[in-house]
């Protein structure tokens, strides 16, 4: 099945470069381009893209607001957002994950890495660059004044196993690694993670990691 990709970036040359890289893969297809956040939201609806490559800094509605608009729209529940970044401002990346982005990618990414990242996010069953996201969240939440949106009480809906799996997800482990660690099958590990996401209202594994830190289930480590 072909993964439909929407490009959202205010620089035409950047979009053109990504279009070439994406369209060179037989299972990926660029179905639209947006140069503003407003256009990204509109085209996400019009094209029914599977993945939106979203730049943060765009005129008018920025990429953070556009991500929030897409991921909060029930009609666009199947759309995944992959944020494009230069990794300069951690707070923006954390805000993007809170807004519902499934992960982030540097603009200097290699062709094969870009293509695989899109496939991973489109599947919705794995977090892109889990160790990098974990480190990002840890640094942000350990900063003074970090805002917490979820209370530890929200974890009471989880079973002990779901909480255990959620902890390992937040530590950057894949389903295969969780299965090996706990002596269960990969599918069982995935099922526990999915149930935790449903109970906590997490859009995907990226948001599950965010909630794990916000509730204190996983504590930021010193860097």
Q: Any bridge partners for residue 28, and if so which?
A: 3
Q: Are 179 and 185 in contact (CB under 8 A)?
A: yes
Nearest to 100 by CA among 204, 171, 209, 213: 204
Nearest to 97 by CA among 6, 185, 202, 7: 202
Tokens at residue 128, please?
Answer: 């892109």
Q: Are 60 and 38 in contact (CB under 8 A)?
A: yes
Q: What is the pTM of this model?
A: 0.73
Q: Which residue has the tokens 């029914």?
A: 48
Q: Which residue has the tokens 């509730």?
A: 215
Q: Specify the pLDDT at position 141.
A: 60
Nearest to 49 by CA among 40, 62, 58, 61: 40
Tokens at residue 166, please?
Answer: 């959620």
d(CA 173, CA 175): 7
Q: Which domains does the chain have, with CATH numbers?
A: 3-124 (3.40.50.2300), 140-214 (1.10.10.10)
Half-sphere exposure of 64 (CA within 13 A, CB side): 10
Strand locations in the chain (E)? 3-8, 28-34, 51-55, 80-85, 103-106
89 SS3 class: coil
Give how far Cα 209 sits from Cα of 60, 123, 134, 135, 184, Å.
Answer: 30, 18, 7, 11, 21
Q: Specify the pLDDT at position 140.
A: 58
Per-residue pLDDT of the chain (223 residues; tens, 9 = 90+): 899 999 999 999 999 999 999 999 999 999 999 999 999 999 999 998 999 999 988 988 999 999 999 999 989 988 999 988 775 555 677 778 778 888 888 788 888 989 988 998 888 755 545 555 556 666 656 655 555 556 667 899 999 999 999 999 888 788 888 999 999 999 999 999 999 999 998 877 777 888 888 888 887 654 4
Q: Specify the pLDDT at position 203.
A: 75
- Residues 6+ away with beta carbon under 8 Å from 177: 168
DSSP for 110-136, written as a single string: -HHHHHHHHHHHHHTSS-SSHHHHHHH
Q: Any bridge partners for residue 150, and if so which?
A: none
């Amino acid at each position: 099945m072909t993964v439909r990709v929407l490009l959202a970036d205010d620089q035409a040359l950047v979009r053109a470069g990504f279009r070439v890289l994406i369209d060179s893969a037989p299972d990926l297809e660029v179905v639209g381009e947006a140069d503003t956040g407003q256009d990204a939201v509109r085209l996400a609806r019009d094209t029914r893209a599977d993945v939106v490559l979203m730049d943060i800094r765009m005129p008018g509605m920025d990429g953070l607001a556009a991500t929030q608009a897409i991921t909060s729209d029930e009609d666009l529940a199947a759309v995944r957002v992959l944020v494009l970044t230069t990794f300069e401002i951690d707070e923006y990346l954390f805000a993007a994950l809170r807004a519902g982005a499934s992960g982030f990618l540097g603009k200097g990414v290699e062709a094969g890495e870009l293509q695989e990242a899109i496939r991973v996010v489109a599947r919705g069953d794995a977090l892109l660059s889990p160790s990098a996201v974990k480190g990002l969240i840890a640094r942000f939440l350990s900063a003074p004044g970090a805002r917490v949106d979820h209370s530890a009480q929200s974890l009471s809906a989880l079973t002990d196993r779901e909480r255990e799996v959620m902890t390992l997800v937040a530590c950057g482990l894949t389903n295969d690694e969780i299965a090996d660690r706990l002596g269960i099958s990969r599918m069982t590990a995935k099922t526990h993670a999915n149930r935790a996401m449903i109970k906590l209202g997490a859009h995907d594994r990226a948001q599950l990691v965010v909630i794990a830190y916000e509730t204190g289930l996983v504590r930021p480590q010193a860097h």
